[in-house]
Amino acid sequence: MTETGTRRPERTGRPLRWLRVLRDDLCTARLDPLPPSVWLRWLPHGVLCVAAVGITIGGVAQFQHNGHLGAGLASLFGFAAGGAVLLAMWRPVPAWWLSTGGMLAGAVALRGRLGTTPVVLFTWPWTVAGMIAQLLVLLLLALRVRVRAAVEALAVTVLVTWFLDGVWGAPPHQSTSVVTVVLSVVVVALGTALRGRREARAELGRQASLTEEERSRRTLLEERSRIARELHDVVAHHMSVISIQAQVAPHLVENPSDELRENLEGIRDNALEALTELRRVLGVLRSEGPDEDAPGGPGTGPHSPQPTLDRLDALVENTRAAGLDVTVRIDGERRPMPSGVELSAYRIVQEALSNVLRHAPGASAHVEIEYLPHGLLVSVANSRPTRPAPPSPGAGHGLLGMRERAAMLGGSLTAAARADGGYRVFAELPATEPRTGLFPRPSADLTTGTDRAPDPKDDRV
Among 23-37, 139-153, 173-187, 301-315, the least confident range:
301-315
Average pLDDT in the chain: 83
- Tell me, what's the pLDDT at 265? 85
Beta bridge partners of 365: 326, 382
- pLDDT, average across residues 87-108: 96
pLDDT class of 119 with cuts at 50, 70, 90: very low
Start-end of H helices in 112-257: 128-144, 147-162, 177-248
Phi and psi of 290, rounded to 5°?
A: -75, 150
Q: pLDDT of 428-461, one tens digit each?
A: 999 875 544 444 444 434 434 443 334 433 444 4
Give me the CATH topology for the region 309-430. Heat Shock Protein 90 (3.30.565)
Rg (CA), the chain: 40
The pLDDT value recorded for residue 302 is 47
Question: Residue 115 — pLDDT band, cuts 50, 70, 90?
Answer: low
**Percent of the chain, pLDDT > 90?**
46
Query: Which pLDDT does position 283 carry in this prediction?
Result: 55
Task: Return the pLDDT at 457.
Answer: 39
The residue with greater pLDDT, 12 or 71, is: 71
- DSSP 8-state assignment for residue 255: S
Higher pLDDT: 401 or 455? It is 401
User: In this structure, are residues 446 and 330 in contact, taking their beta carbons and an 8 Å threshold?
Assistant: no
DSSP, collapsed to helix, strand or coil, labels residue 288 as coil
- According to the model, what pLDDT value does residue 121 have? 58
Per-residue pLDDT band at 106 (split at 50, 70, 90): very high
Residue with more model confidence, 55 or 17: 55
CB 425 within 8 A of CB 360: no
How sure is the predictor about 392, in pLDDT bands with cuts at 50, 70 and 90? low
Question: Would you place residue 295 in the very low, low, confident or very high pLDDT band (cuts 50, 70, 90)?
Answer: very low
Task: Give the separation between CA 365 and CA 449, rounded to whole angstroms.
Answer: 12
What confidence tier does 9 reach under pLDDT thresholds 50, 70, 90?
low
Mean pLDDT of 363-375: 94
Task: Taking residues 388-400, report their average pLDDT.
Answer: 69
Of 32-41, 185-194, 234-243, highest mean pLDDT:
185-194
380: pLDDT confidence band, cut at 50, 70 and 90? very high
Please give the Cα distance from 117 to 65 (Å, whole number). 11
What does the longest C-alpha to C-alpha distance in the chain come to? 134
Least confident piece of the model among 228-242, 330-344, 350-364: 228-242
Lowest mean pLDDT among 180-194, 204-218, 287-301, 429-443: 287-301
